[in-house]
Amino acid sequence: MVAAPADAVGPLVENALGTVARRMGAERAYVFVLSRDGSTMRNTQEWSASGLGLGGPSAPPVSTSLIPRWMETLQHGDDIRIDDVTKLPETWRVDREQLEQLEVRSVAAVAIRVAGRMGGFVAMEMLSDTRSWRDSEMRALGFLGDLIGGAFERRRNEQKLLDSRRRLEEIALYDPLTRLPNRRLLADRMDEAVARAREQGLLLGVCYLDLDGFKPINDTHGHKMGDRVLVTVASRLRGCVREDDTVARLGGDEFVLLMNHLESLSDCAALLERVLAALAQPIQIDGHSLAVTGSAGVTLFPQDAGDADTLLRHADHAMYQAKQHGRNRFQFFKSVKDQPDESHKLELVRIREAIEGDELRLHVQPRVDMGSGRVVGVEALVRWEHPERGLLPPGEFLPLMEGDELLHDLDWWVMDGALDLLAQWQDAGLDLTMSLNLSACSLQDTGFVASLQEMLARHPSIDPARLLFEIIESEALRDIETTASVIRACAVLGVQFALDGFGNGYASLIDFRCLPAQVVKIDQTVVRDILRSRDDRNLVKGVIGIANAFQREVIAEGVESAAHGLLLMDLGCTLAQGYGIAEPMPPQQLAAWIEGFRPPRLWSTRPSVDWSTVDLSLLSMEAVHRDWVKRLIRHVLSDTATKLPDLQLASCDFGRWYLGDGRARYGQLHAFQALGDLHGQVHRQGLRLLEIDRLDRELMAAPIATLLEERDILVEGIRSLQVHVLEDRPRGDVA
């Protein structure tokens, strides 16, 4: 009964109730379950020898005040053993009257305990005559009560897990402001729509829509007014499309329309005309008449025969063309041939030469236990030291390798290098684990486990438990049986697996249970916004709860500030990595970094934080500042491909906070006042960097290093202010 599925508990309890009642010679038996506050009780199961029951589950709840001494006795941990109801003492008068009204002559009952508290009771009754209840019968009844309590507790826990997953899916798949599908759910629906259109020969439209005139509303009237405008826009968009179409919000003022079963290009154009006309109507809010319009780009499948990502990219491209042609209009995508196959083949040949020619480099990013401040491991990350283009991040070349056997070769190159590093660190006295990203093609290679065993044999000094393979959640789900069997086989060798990117995919609880990965890594896209988004905080809290329920270790990636780490510890996660702890570095720098690493004071003092107050702006400033510096460096290194951040002291994100809310709340504090000069130094160094010739990368190295030093000085100032403000506050709940 205890191990039974939730939907089978009720029938099993009824069957057990009848079996025990017949063995005890009882004439009626029943189970009552208490309400949450204990004020009422409900008859959930019953059995009767004569067919004369109490009404069963269909009967309404009754008040526990009808049997006050009965309830008091069970609450105190005693059993009820009444041989003759008529002989109950005067203190039981109310209970006696109720039992006599039900024509009960003798009764025995025991409490049902669920999670350590009384959740109800099970009782056996005699109606035709009195009788004595033997000790053996009371033990049998007590055993039945324990069984029912265990079954109810299991059912409750399963329901809590299902409810948590349901809430997580809602948070993960829908935009919290507009309740529209978000990017994740849109991707799922686009894949389904493309597959359906391909199979049935249907016309599918994908529209990327951006609002014109929304930013001035935000700047003039504030973000709350802007949010109300977005809610109105979402409602209008829903009203324009058909029932089986999808309207999704990607973020900011960007929306996507997925239009199914279109008859023709003109059918699509007519729908978009309705959309633009609806958006152009004035929006009336609190006496303000606000105006926005829309610029839309659209592409049609199968004329544009790409996958979901390609269709969305083409629609985005067409949207920018619409803006260039005057806004408040839509533009169909004009197909441009993608990169020729021959060119792609040449790039793959060049990447193979890089692997074989010793042009690839392993960098490592430290992972720390924030609770103890100890460095516990690193993640190995590959870089390409290109002779002409400099050090390239994986995003510059890994996408070109997707689906090619080169990924398999790269996995083994990384693995061999990682084991060599572990051996060196072990000799130097560093006790670290190493996590490696494993591609789907290696995971599904039938010879993978045997090859891994051979490689481990070539490094006999390395404990296999120091290796942690990371597999992306979505790739693990492609062939869940193969993935699970590989994980189990590697566990025999001592090698562990982590489910990477969790919280950003679609694994069900059943999938999660079937994947025996020992570690869960919470995706950085979820962690990044936990300081600003209550929904992302709830999502992370839910992921941690599910991981704990399945006894999996949890690692958070994307920790961009000390405040991120503090919040994660409050949520129950202590293992973390991210740019707020350390950026990826050459392995030869790791020992010195570990020697100099000092955990932020926020982590050691654990000041009290109310995670719903205006102090969240202060706690977000480290990440805001780091992001500004990162975007500036990307801009100068990518030949302006990345948008230049605001260089004005008063109008960049940090500057607006410093001169606005920050000054109003903390302006009297010396720690706050010191930030002004530090902020100015960062901006001045940024301007110097822009004056350097972008083509001379060697000349840029020193100014970038200086900018990073100035950044870190300001970060320390921000952290000092955070500690000063928060240390004496009463601890608030994480919400």
CATH code for the domain in which residue 680 is found: 1.20.120
The boundaries of the domain holding residue 245 are 183-332
CA distances (Å), origin 450, targets 287, 393, 456, 516: 72, 31, 10, 20
Rounded Cα distance between 502 and 517, Å, is 12
Question: Taking 90 as the threshold, does the pLDDT of residue 67 lie above it?
Answer: yes
Same domain assignment for residues 308 and 400: no
Residue 276: pLDDT band with limits 50, 70, 90: very high
Q: Is 32 exposed, middle or buried (0-12, 13-18, 19+ CB in 10 A)?
A: buried
Residue 4: pLDDT band with limits 50, 70, 90: very low
Question: Taking 90 as the threshold, does the pLDDT of residue 514 lie above it?
Answer: no
What residue ranges in 302-339 does DSSP mark as E strands?
330-332
**Taking a C-beta distance cutoff of 8 angstroms, is the pair 722, 563 a contact?**
yes
Rounded Cα distance between 630 and 624, Å, is 10
pLDDT digits (tens, 9 = 90+) for 221-235: 888 999 999 999 999
Same domain assignment for residues 494 and 452: yes
Give the tokens for residue 358: 């010793």
Side-chain-side CA neighbours of 315 within 13 Å: the count stands at 27
User: Residue 635 has what pLDDT?
Assistant: 79
Question: Taking 80 as the threshold, does the pLDDT of residue 421 lie above it?
Answer: yes
Backbone region of residue 606 per phi and psi (left: phi > 0; alpha: psi in -120 to 50; beta: other values): left
Question: Taking 70 as the threshold, does the pLDDT of residue 511 lie above it?
Answer: no
Nearest-CA neighbor of 178 among 257, 235, 236? 235
Rounded Cα distance between 428 and 604, Å, is 28
H or E, element range at 378: strand 374-386
Q: What is the mean pLDDT of residues 166-186?
A: 85
Please, which residues bridge with residue 718 across strands? none
The answer to whether residue 608 sits within a structural domain is no
SS3 369: strand
The answer to whether residue 1 sits within a structural domain is no
SS3 409: helix
Same domain assignment for residues 325 and 354: no
CA distances (Å), origin 170, targets 74, 86, 247, 437: 41, 56, 16, 29
Rounded Cα distance between 610 and 616, Å, is 9
Give the tokens for residue 161: 């897990």
Neighbours of 233 (CB within 10 A): 24
SS3 373: coil
Full DSSP string of 29-75: EEEEEE-TTSSEEEEEEEEESSS--S-GGGSPPEEGGGSHHHHHHHH
User: Residue 515 has what pLDDT?
Assistant: 81
Give the tokens for residue 644: 């230049």
> What is the 3-state secondary structure of 574-603?
CEEECCCCCCCECHHHHHHHHHHCCCCHHH
User: Residue 658 has what pLDDT?
Assistant: 94
**Taking a C-beta distance cutoff of 8 angstroms, is the pair 540, 530 a contact?**
yes
Q: Is 296 exposed, middle or buried (0-12, 13-18, 19+ CB in 10 A)?
A: buried
Question: Taking 50 as the threshold, does the pLDDT of residue 209 lie above it?
Answer: yes
What residue ranges in 167-217 does DSSP mark as E strands?
203-212
Please give the torsion angle defined by the CA atoms of residues 253, 259, 263 and 269, in that order, rounded to the nearest 10 degrees.
0
Phi, psi of 338 (to 5 degrees): -70, 175
User: Residue 640 has what pLDDT?
Assistant: 45
User: Residue 675 has what pLDDT?
Assistant: 96
Same domain assignment for residues 89 and 138: yes
**Taking a C-beta distance cutoff of 8 angstroms, is the pair 497, 490 a contact?**
yes
- Tell me, what CATH number does 134's domain have? 3.30.450.40
Question: Taking 70 as the threshold, does the pLDDT of residue 503 lie above it?
Answer: no
- Tell me, what CATH number does 279's domain have? 3.30.70.270
User: Residue 614 has what pLDDT?
Assistant: 62
Q: What DSSP designation does 701 have?
A: H
Nearest-CA neighbor of 634 among 691, 709, 690? 690
Tally of residues, the chain = 735
Structurally, the chain folds into a number of domains equal to 4
Same domain assignment for residues 325 and 380: no
Same domain assignment for residues 326 and 395: no
Residue 475: pLDDT band with limits 50, 70, 90: low
Which tops the pLDDT comparison, 593 or 534? 593
Residue 336: pLDDT band with limits 50, 70, 90: very low
Nearest-CA neighbor of 114 among 28, 35, 5? 35
Question: Taking 60 as the threshold, does the pLDDT of residue 505 lie above it?
Answer: no
Residue 696: pLDDT band with limits 50, 70, 90: low
Range from 32-41, 110-119, 192-201, 333-342 carrying the lowest mean pLDDT: 333-342
Same domain assignment for residues 162 and 267: no
Percent of the chain clearing pLDDT 70 (strictly above): 91
Distance of CA 373 to the CA centre of its chain: 24
Angle subtended by helix axes 341-356 and 406-427, to nearest 10: 20
Rounded Cα distance between 512 and 142, Å, is 36
Give the tokens for residue 632: 């500036």
The answer to whether residue 731 sits within a structural domain is no
Same domain assignment for residues 152 and 199: no
User: Residue 334 has what pLDDT?
Assistant: 74
Rounded Cα distance between 696 and 673, Å, is 37
The answer to whether residue 356 sits within a structural domain is yes
CA distances (Å), origin 250, targets 44, 77, 174, 525: 47, 56, 10, 13
Domain stops at, among 137, 169, 201: 169
Average confidence score pLDDT of the chain: 86
pTM for the full model?
Answer: 0.58
Give the helix ranges, DSSP H, for 25-91: 68-75
The answer to whether residue 732 sits within a structural domain is no
Domain stops at, among 169, 194, 226: 169
CA distances (Å), origin 365, targets 304, 378, 407, 598: 41, 5, 21, 16
User: Residue 326 has what pLDDT?
Assistant: 76
Residue 2: pLDDT band with limits 50, 70, 90: very low
Same domain assignment for residues 90 and 239: no
Give the tokens for residue 115: 């999670």
What angle (nearest 5°) sits at the alpha carbon of residue 133, between those of residues 127 and 137? 110
User: Residue 477 has what pLDDT?
Assistant: 64
The answer to whether residue 623 sits within a structural domain is yes
Residue 694: pLDDT band with limits 50, 70, 90: low
The answer to whether residue 600 sits within a structural domain is no
**Taking a C-beta distance cutoff of 8 angstroms, is the pair 559, 566 a contact?**
no
Give the tokens for residue 19: 């079996």
Side-chain-side CA neighbours of 659 within 13 Å: the count stands at 11
Q: What is the mean pLDDT of residues 689-718?
A: 84
pLDDT digits (tens, 9 = 90+) for 564-610: 999 999 999 999 999 999 999 999 999 999 999 999 999 988 887 77
Domain stops at, among 290, 312, 332: 332
Range from 102-116, 177-191, 421-435, 515-529 carrying the lowest mean pLDDT: 515-529
Neighbours of 646 (CB within 10 A): 16
H or E, element range at 467: strand 467-472
Same domain assignment for residues 622 and 672: yes
Rounded Cα distance between 279 and 237, Å, is 8
Same domain assignment for residues 121 and 243: no
Q: What is the mean pLDDT of residues 166-179?
A: 82
Nearest-CA neighbor of 538 among 267, 7, 197, 167? 167
Q: Which residues lie below 8 Å from residue 65, measured CB to CB, with a gap of 6+?
A: 39
User: Residue 340 has what pLDDT?
Assistant: 45
What angle (nearest 5°) sits at the alpha carbon of residue 265, between those of residues 264 and 268? 95
Question: Taking 50 as the threshold, does the pLDDT of residue 72 lie above it?
Answer: yes
pLDDT digits (tens, 9 = 90+) for 633-651: 887 876 444 567 888 999 8
Question: Taking 90 as the threshold, does the pLDDT of residue 323 lie above it?
Answer: no
The answer to whether residue 176 sits within a structural domain is no
Tokens 């009297």: give the residue: 668
Please give the torsion angle defined by the CA atoms of residues 636, 642, 644 and 645, in that order, rounded to the nearest 10 degrees.
-110
Rounded Cα distance between 494 and 464, Å, is 5
Same domain assignment for residues 517 and 481: yes
Q: Which residues lie below 8 Å from residue 595, measured CB to CB, with a gap of 6+?
A: none
